[in-house]
């Protein structure tokens, strides 16, 4: 927290002594009486109501739905600007609409711009009923950014103040908040070669953005996340709502997924990890030795072929902060620790990640 500085004014003793006739004191008392009387009549100053703007964006995708936002929603204006800057640029070119200066424009400029945009979209649909303005055929290719943007915007709409997440936990502990970014997960999923029958589990899913991204970006069978702490799990509920709304806007349907509040060290979750999960992700960087032992005890009974990605090596026993990295393991012949199958994502060269 920043230190708050207090300003003290120094008043000399002579300034507090009245003059012989005290004329200033008499005038001050009379004027104070008048001010008090007028204040009682006037009452408290009226509050100025903040005008709430309704912002609407027509869908430009097949089977998409209109997106409705309000200026009083968290980060709504920023979300709209980012959406047009990162995804809708080609659409504006097709409609011959000049974009705003997204990094500099005022929020008040959005209303007139969206009116022009929506009218142009409706006119295009009427003239070209079988055409779409925005193609999504490349959205699931490696390094494609569209679903990353959608998941990030959902988080912005769900969380008014991200600092709450960083200040909620005690100093470096097993509950320390430290989300893995979506771009890193995308690289991991690309390296793993996710299949249609895979089941992904995120242990310590936080606000759920990795789970929603995996459900949007891949053709996976099922995605699941579990979070122990109430605050990020609460934000995850709103994140899911905003994510689904944005996906509908683009005519997209995510793969089946769920986010739950709870502990991975329970019988139900242990059974799921051992019998159903084929890809397990865990940001275990801040795990204390006891929790690492519990994690290893569960993972050693996973099915052969289960892929495990962690931020701290599973064989680590010392408590303390270490540089963040990502390590991959593959369960083979009742053993999940195999140096030939472990590779840091930060190492140089090609990634023979979790190779068989």
Q: In what order do the strands lie in the sheet with 199-203?
A: 257-261, 222-227, 199-203, 279-282, 307-310, 327-330
Q: Is residue 19 part of a domain?
A: no
240 & 113 share domain = no
Both tokens of 254, joined, read: 């995510």
Q: How far apart are the first and last CA of the chain?
A: 49
274 & 153 share domain = yes
119 & 190 share domain = no
154 & 122 share domain = no
175 & 59 share domain = no
At residue 115's C-alpha, the angle toward residues 109 and 116, to 5°, is 95
- Distance between CA 232 and CA 118 in Å, rounded? 36
Q: Is residue 27 part of a domain?
A: no
Q: Which of 127, 157, 182 is the last residue of a domain?
A: 127
- Distance between CA 136 and CA 145 in Å, rounded? 11
68 & 172 share domain = no
Say whether 156 sits in a helix, a strand or coil. Answer: helix
158 & 195 share domain = yes
217 & 113 share domain = no
194 & 315 share domain = yes
- Distance between CA 220 and CA 332 in Å, rounded? 22
Q: Which of 98, 127, 156 is the last residue of a domain?
A: 127
Q: Is residue 218 part of a domain?
A: yes
190 & 329 share domain = yes
Q: Is residue 133 part of a domain?
A: no
Expressed as residue numbers, the domain containing 159 is 146-341
151 & 104 share domain = no
H runs (alpha helix) in the chain: 23-42, 76-86, 89-94, 110-127, 146-158, 163-168, 182-192, 209-217, 230-249, 267-275, 289-299
Q: Is residue 33 part of a domain?
A: no
Q: Is residue 177 part of a domain?
A: yes
Q: Which of 96, 127, 158 is the last residue of a domain?
A: 127
CATH of the domain at 229: 3.40.50.150
Say whether 213 sits in a helix, a strand or coil. Answer: helix
Q: Is residue 107 part of a domain?
A: yes
77 & 187 share domain = no
Strand 54-57 to 67-70 pairing: antiparallel
Q: pLDDT tens string for the chain (356 positions)?
A: 444 344 333 333 444 444 444 444 444 444 444 444 444 555 566 666 678 999 999 999 999 999 999 999 999 999 999 999 999 999 999 999 999 999 999 999 999 999 999 999 999 999 999 999 999 999 999 889 999 999 999 999 999 887 777 665 544 333 444 568 899 899 899 988 899 999 999 999 999 999 999 999 999 999 999 999 999 999 999 999 999 999 999 999 999 999 999 999 999 999 999 999 999 999 887 788 888 888 888 888 888 888 999 888 777 655 554 445 677 777 654 554 443 333 444 333 332 333 33
Say whether 274 sits in a helix, a strand or coil. Answer: helix
State pTM to two decimals.
0.78
Q: Please tell me the total count of domains within the chain.
A: 2
Q: Is residue 348 part of a domain?
A: no
């Amino acid at each position: 927290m920043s230190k708050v500085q207090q300003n003290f004014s120094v008043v000399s003793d002579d300034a507090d002594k009245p003059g012989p006739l005290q004329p200033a004191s008499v005038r001050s008392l009379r004027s104070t009486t008048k001010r008090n009387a007028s204040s009682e009549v006037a009452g408290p100053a009226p509050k100025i109501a903040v005008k709430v703007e309704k912002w609407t964006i027509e869908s430009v995708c097949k089977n998409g739905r209109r997106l409705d936002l309000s200026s009083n929603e968290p980060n709504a204006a920023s979300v709209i600007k980012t959406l047009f800057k990162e995804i809708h640029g080609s659409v504006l070119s097709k409609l011959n609409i000049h974009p705003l200066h997204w990094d500099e424009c005022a929020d008040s400029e959005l209303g007139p711009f969206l009116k022009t945009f929506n009218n142009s979209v409706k006119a295009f649909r009427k003239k070209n009923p079988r055409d779409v303005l925005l193609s999504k055929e490349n959205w699931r290719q490696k390094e494609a950014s569209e679903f990353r943007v959608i998941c990030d915007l959902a988080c912005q709409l769900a969380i008014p103040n991200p600092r709450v997440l960083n200040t909620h936990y005690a100093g470096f502990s097993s509950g320390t908040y430290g989300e893995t970014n979506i771009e890193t997960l995308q690289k991991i999923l690309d390296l793993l070669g996710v299949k249609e029958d895979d089941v992904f589990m995120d242990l310590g899913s936080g606000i759920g953005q990795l789970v929603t991204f995996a459900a949007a970006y891949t053709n996976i069978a099922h995605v699941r996340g579990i979070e122990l702490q109430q605050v990020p799990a609460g934000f995850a509920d709103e994140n899911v709502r905003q994510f689904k709304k944005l996906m509908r806007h683009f005519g997209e349907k995510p793969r089946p997924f769920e986010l739950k509040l709870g502990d991975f060290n329970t019988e139900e979750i242990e059974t799921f990890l051992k019998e159903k999960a084929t890809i397990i992700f865990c940001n275990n960087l801040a795990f204390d030795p006891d929790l690492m032992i519990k994690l290893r005890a569960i993972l050693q009974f996973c099915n052969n072929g289960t892929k495990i990605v962690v931020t701290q090596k599973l064989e680590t026993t010392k408590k303390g902060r270490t540089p963040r990295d990502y390590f991959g393991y593959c369960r083979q012949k009742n053993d999940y620790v195999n140096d030939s199958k472990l590779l840091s994502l930060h190492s140089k060269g090609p990634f023979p990640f979790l190779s068989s």
